[in-house]
Amino acid sequence: MNDEYAKPRDVDTDLAEITSRLGEPDATHRTNRNSVIWRFLVGVLIVLFAAGVHYAMWTGQVPWPGGRRWKLWILILAAMFVGPGVGLYLITFAIRGLKLWALVYPTGIFVWHRGKVLAFPWAEIRAVQMTGIPDKAVLQQDLDPRQMPNTVWYDLEKSRRRIFGTTITLTRTDGEQVSLFSTLDGFAELGRRIQEETFRRLFPTYLADLQDGSKLDFGPLKCDREEIYVGKKSLSWPQVDAVVKASDKLEIKHKVGSKTKTWAKCELNELVNVHVLMGIVQAMRGG
């Protein structure tokens, strides 16, 4: 699975070559045109609406609000200056997901994107970063009798309807990266497969390093066998009451008297291998 084709080619030719060499994949995921179209149209409408607000305000068609009407000012300024950015993001997200295929095999994943084929063997993926995890994404765990995790993954079923989408970025040991977007058919199943396969390979290594005294790096959050670190703050594992997803952040909670309070927060979008991190948390607290 180490072959790569940098020269643009026809998708049917490349997929036929891949399947002739490796057989039929376990699953095939391709761009869902409807998912692309509705995001693109929403983005265009937002940009046009923002342009209309600019025109109406600067030409005097609509008078600027007087006095201390702060809420109205905020709405107008958001429409004029935040709206275009939101619209352009949606347009860009939709376009980036075009002409994308992912073929899943027992040994790894082939990604075809705009004429380029990349191979990502499961054993060579060193980092999984998920941006735009839905607010209601549930953490799933398969635990053994000792309460140690076999697999851990976030359920991405809600990504299908999330207007800003979800992106999974894979990084190989050689530094090569590829991004997979929630405009793909069966994105939730693909996300689960990626998380499960990489967890089974990364978690034992991470846990062994932790037990040997190494500090694990998950981005803004780090930990060793004694403590969790966020910035310059640290908290010992016995003091950790819970590590939970709250909206777009990961919150570390601890006990203060009889109350549970948030000790630190991390942006989920900035965390690397968050599914492995949650496995480490389970191992340190429940195993």
Question: Is pLDDT of 174 > 60?
Answer: yes
Burial of 34 (0-12, 13-18, 19+ CB in 10 A): exposed
pLDDT band at 162 (very low <50, low <70, confident <90, very high): very high
Of 23 and 191, which is predicted with more confidence? 191
- pLDDT score for 257: 80
Element (H, E) at 10: none
Each residue of 227-255: b (16+ CB within 10 Å) or e?
A: bbbbeeebbeeeebbebebeeebbbbbbe
Q: What tens digit of pLDDT does each residue of 186-203 get?
A: 999 999 999 999 999 999
pTM for the complete prediction?
A: 0.89
Q: How many angstroms separate the CA atoms of 165 and 21, rounded?
A: 33
- pLDDT, the chain, mean: 91
pLDDT band at 23 (very low <50, low <70, confident <90, very high): confident
Which residues, listed in sequence order, are joined to residue 101 by a DSSP beta bridge?
30, 112
pLDDT band at 1 (very low <50, low <70, confident <90, very high): low
- pLDDT score for 155: 97
> Stretch 156-166: mean pLDDT, rounded?
93
User: Could you give the percent of the chain with pLDDT greater than 90?
Assistant: 76
Q: What tens digit of pLDDT does each residue of 229-281 get?
A: 999 999 999 999 999 999 899 999 998 888 899 999 999 999 999 999 999 99
- pLDDT score for 7: 53
Q: Which residue has the tokens 């075009």?
A: 98
Q: How many angstroms separate the CA atoms of 212 and 210, rounded?
A: 5
Question: Is pLDDT of 12 > 90?
Answer: no
Q: What tens digit of pLDDT does each residue of 247-260 get?
A: 899 999 998 888 89
- pLDDT score for 256: 86
Question: Is pLDDT of 5 > 60?
Answer: no
